[in-house]
Structure 1
Amino acid sequence: MADRSFRLEGTDQILAALRQRTERAAARVESKALRAAGEVMAADMRQRAPKSARDTNLHLKDHIQVSNVRRKEGTKYVLIGPDKKVSWRAHFPEFGTSRQPATPYIAPAYHAKKREALQILADELRKGLAQR
């Protein structure tokens, strides 16, 4: 009887490539979930943000955004809040000044939407796992 054994070479490279693709796909799912959860909070923040009585295009509510996904010490996160055009004054309505009473919009949005954001994060991650 003939020897019907064979040798498969390159399996280490194939497995490494497969792992790399899986890691990249997981990272995309994670990033998409973080941005979706952040958008929920940003939408509530936009709704609560005060609008200036002045006729200007620099209203806080028009400049609230969700950042791209960032990483610090292995932890991914997004920043939610006013962009650089108006961030220098975003704390005035939040905490008030000597001439302006506080009209918080950041903290109330966080407390109102944190559970919903966590639920969306979990749902997006589940949806991403189901696609794989």
Structure 2
Amino acid sequence: MSIEFSGLNELDKNLRKLAVSEKKIRNRAIRKAGEAFAERLERNTPVDRETERKGSHVHMKDDVQISGVNQDGIISVGYGKETHWRVHFAETGTIKQRPQGFIQQTEEEMQDRILEIMQAEIRKGLGL
């Protein structure tokens, strides 16, 4: 048995097939991909030097969080309660700040890598 992935839509379709029969394998693959994405997001997240001098807030970089895999095979990677409300200011910009686009950059950088990770984990789990 062999599984070929040609893109995210194909991957999603194959993961849904696996959801019924091989839930543990699917979840492990999704978790590994989520962890890799979170690591890259943490590296790409900017640090506000002004906040750093004041020492009053938690940095977004230090607040990247990963949810568990839900029953539909979805995992969320994002920011915690203390920082989620200010992420969009840095990502999309404000009147006084240029957009930094670090989330979009991370998505673009990791798209192929996530496919590789998931493909490897699924193959490993199925003994291929």
TM range (shorter): 0.7 to 0.9
CA 104–28 in structure 1, closer or farther in 2 if over 3 Å, else same: same
In structure 1, C-alpha distance between the alignment counterparts of 2:32 and 2:23, rounded to whole Å: 14
For 1:51-90, list aligned pairs within 5 A.
51-53=47-49, 54=51, 55-56=55-56, 58-71=58-71, 75-90=72-87
1:12-36 C-alpha deviation (Å, 9 max, x unpaired):
xxxxxxxxxxx89821211111011
For 1:1-132, list aligned pairs within 5 A.
26-53=22-49, 54=51, 55-56=55-56, 58-71=58-71, 75-130=72-127
Moved over 6 A (4+): none
Q: How many residues align?
A: 106
Structure having greater relative contact order (Cα 8 Å, sep ≥ 6): 2
1:7-58 C-alpha deviation (Å, 9 max, x unpaired):
xxxxxxxxxxxxxxxx898212111110111111111111110112222451
TM-score normalised per structure 1: 0.72
1:84-128 C-alpha deviation (Å, 9 max, x unpaired):
221111111000011111111111000001110111011111111
Q: Is the 8 A contact 1:41 1:114 kept in 2?
A: no
* Unaligned stretches of 5+ residues in structure 2: 1-18
RMSD in angstroms over aligned alpha carbons? 2.0
TM-score normalised per structure 2: 0.75
Looking at CA atoms only, which structure, 1 or 2, has the larger radius of gyration? 1
3-state SS of paired residue (1:81): strand
Query: Percent of counterpart pairs with the same letter?
Result: 29
In structure 2, C-alpha distance between the alignment counterparts of 1:129 and 1:83, rounded to whole Å: 34
* Unaligned stretches of 5+ residues in structure 1: 1-22
